[in-house]
Amino acid sequence: MNRFYLNGEWEFKQATEHRWLSGQVPGSVVADLLNLGLLEDPFYRDNEKHTIELAKHDYEYRRKFEADEALLGQDKVLLVCEGLDTLAEVTINGHLIASTDNMHRTYEFDVKSYIRLGENDIHIMFRSPVNYIHEKNAAVDLWSVNLNNMPYAHLRKAHYMFGWDWGPVIPDAGIWRNIYIQTYSESRLKDVYMTQRHSEDEVVLDVVVQPDNWTGAQFDIEVALTAPNGSTIRGTASVIDQKTTIRISINDPQIWWPNGYGKQPLYEVEIELKHDGVLLDRQQKRIGLRTIEVRREPDEWGESFEIVINGVAIFGMGGNYIPEDNVLSRCNRDRSERLIRDCVAANHNMIRVWGGGVYPDDYFFDLCDEYGLIVWQDFMFSCAVFDMNEAFTETVRKEAIDNVRRIRHHASFGLWCGNNEMEMGWVDWGFPKTPKHRFDYLKQFEILLPEVVAEHDPNHFYWPASPSSGGSFDKPNDPNRGDVHYWDVWHGTTPFTAYRDHYFRFCSEFGFQSFPEMKTIESYTIEEDRNVFSYIMEQHQKCPGGNGKILSQISENYLYPKDLDSLVYVSQLLQAEAIKYGVEHWRRHRGRCMGAIYWQLNDSWPVASWSGIDSFGRWKALHYASKRFFNPLLASAMETGTKVELHVSNESLDTVSAQLEWKLRDAGTDVLEQGAIDVESVRLSSMRVVSLDFAEQLSDTSRMRSAYLEFALKRDGVTVSEGTVQFVKPKHFLFADPNLTATVLEEQDAFVIRVRGQAFAKFVELKLSDADCSFSDNYFDLSADSLKEVVVKKSSLSTPLTQDQLQDQLLLRSLYNTAQ
């Protein structure tokens, strides 16, 4: 078994041109033109329009490669294409090998008879995806949620490339993943599947191996399991062509847990296929020892929907993940690792891979294994009607098999989900509906895909859609069953408190928009563009009326900002507060609700959107807020008029003894009333600790507008969770000037910023004028004469800085500083 990569330098050109240009594989047309300086940055101003025109043309890629006698002497010589985007015609030495139509598949082509000794030519023609979908739609009109007249449902290409309400239209083309020649002799490993059986002090690992045997000989299978401490357990078996199981017993197993519940030990599994001691094929996989299921049981509210790992029902906390760039070749392991580490830093334990993008690379799942994020994996179908003709059905089936078999062994893998919002669309949306396409939906998502999962990954749960109550068009957004997408606060512009009217079983989408920070806005604008209703700013706002919705909610909650920078800041506060209202409410009702996955985690380009982290990796206020509201040990407040309930939620495996302290204060330095309560917070629970009523203290309007409640949950004297409550909207609160100051101290691997204020400061923001970094806390509230220490790890700085340079760059403000 040998692999000869064809990655690297290729030549490419537009099909109607004569001059060949230098390109890179893996890559794409847009990436290559950008690298050559022949295309303006599509993320800058309105340059997106140029890529739309490019996509109306065909493109060719070619290169030469050498084949020696050793390669040609192998029994099997396969061309493996892990990602062709999308309508590709593959030719070797003038012979058409195959035509492809699915960017989500891994293709294998037997090319032995077409390769010659010495120099060979490979040529791939990519046809225009835009022309194709319009031609197909002229024959069969298929509806899709699309703002750009791009009927993407005709083509198995990432939907978001045709535009979404947060992304541009960049329908790229090219060889976007590895391409190589793979050779074998005698036999190869056709399939390896692993099943775990857990008991108190032992895990039994069944490794089911099936060779692809074209000789009829008997082969030896050797399995080596290497534990995190380096010790190895081995098993062997002999096989001809049927499946065989090698059983390995693991004593004192190290169990894998998601972030917040334990550690993430990983075991290496190596499977070798041999004949007479000669190695023919090898596969290596990394696994975690754990059990995982989705539990659905009748209860007093309807039916539960909860992730159960190692027998423990957890509260799912995280964000929805979209592709990290519209130019996929710019995505890489380091970029994904930064994003996933940011999730862990903000106490996420889950991540949902949304169905309108791509199936992530292997390294994405490796990282989720390492850092402890459970993956909710959609199949790549979203918001459209698909025509399940014979060819389309077959490519969908093969796409599903390819990706199920590639992903299924990962410790982080949680569940398969058929699609995003399509069952709900059939029930609630007003698109044209035919009996045939209604049946096609059931065929695709309730017959074909569950059959693939049942055959190739029976250890994982399949869910027909998100949202869904279980399928068959039965109230797919039912609040008492399954998962829910709730959008009334954004699309319906209802108050944030509306979240508290709903007790969903698992909310897998809800969101609120904000603008990215000014450095990001400056990356795609010039000075004259910097008005939220300018042409360019609206080109970077893909949700119709989105900027107006942000300003409308600002008007409900905050004073009008004095400039664009202040408006950007306030929009992020708005977003963070909106999501906080929902998450804290659902966590207070743990048991009835068992998950909150907000929309969305990240961006694919610089844009006003629902993301908590923008396309440059800069944390918005939402991501800092998620660190607080996803804190395993959370103190939260439920306020109504002058009444406040204080709750403690404990999403850990330990019962915790703590103290909940509270103070009613005015905007200056006075404490009006205070108290403290000892708390015994039971593991995996939420409880109301105290109900307070300040009607007497807040009897007049001026006191209502100047008093606030601060509370803190302390463990062994150390604050682990804290918050404040105002009894009027921020725009009506009588803030005093906090006169914020900050001093920077240096430690070996970090800087410590000490922040003080002389009056109550709401949403204190720290920012660097030029560099970027991650702060240990940000957008926090600070009472008068309090000290807040914020840590900046030196490794998080985009540019190395000295203590003095950091002090000089540090910018400090609060809500007080932003009004007209």
Positions annotated as catalytic residues are 421
DSSP symbol at 527: G
Contact 743, 730 (CB under 8 A): no
Query: Any idea which residue has 């009702």 for tokens?
Result: 589
- H, E, C per residue of 128-196: CHHHHHHHHHHHCCCCECCCCCCCHHHCECCHHHEEECCEEECCCCEECCCEEEEEECCEEEEEEEEEE
Token pair recorded at residue 42: 């599509």
Those residues with Cβ within 8 angstroms of residue 304's Cβ, 6 or more apart along the chain or in another chain: 295, 296, 297, 298, 505, 594
Cα 304 from Cα 307, distance rounded (Å): 10
Contact 667, 733 (CB under 8 A): yes
Angle between helices 390-407 and 449-456 (to 10 degrees): 30
What is the three-class DSSP state of 252? coil
Cα 16 from Cα 309, distance rounded (Å): 56
Angle between helices 564-588 and 621-629 (to 10 degrees): 20
Token pair recorded at residue 312: 């423990």
| Alpha carbon 814 to chain centroid, angstroms | 30
Distances (CA, A) of 377 to 172, 473, 613: 24, 21, 20
Cα 96 from Cα 89, distance rounded (Å): 7
Cα 614 from Cα 617, distance rounded (Å): 5
Q: Which residue, among 665, 633, 599, has the nearest Cα to 421 in the 3D structure?
A: 599
Q: Please count the residues of the chain.
A: 820
Contact 36, 341 (CB under 8 A): no
Q: Which residue, among 306, 319, 377, has the nearest Cα to 627 in the 3D structure?
A: 319
The gap between the terminal CA atoms of the chain, to the nearest Å, is 70
Contact 740, 764 (CB under 8 A): yes
Rounded-to-5 percentages of helix, strand, coil across the chain: 25, 40, 40
Distances (CA, A) of 720 to 318, 662, 688: 20, 14, 17
Token pair recorded at residue 227: 């534990």
Q: Give the largest CA-CA distance in the chain.
A: 93
Cα 509 from Cα 274, distance rounded (Å): 49
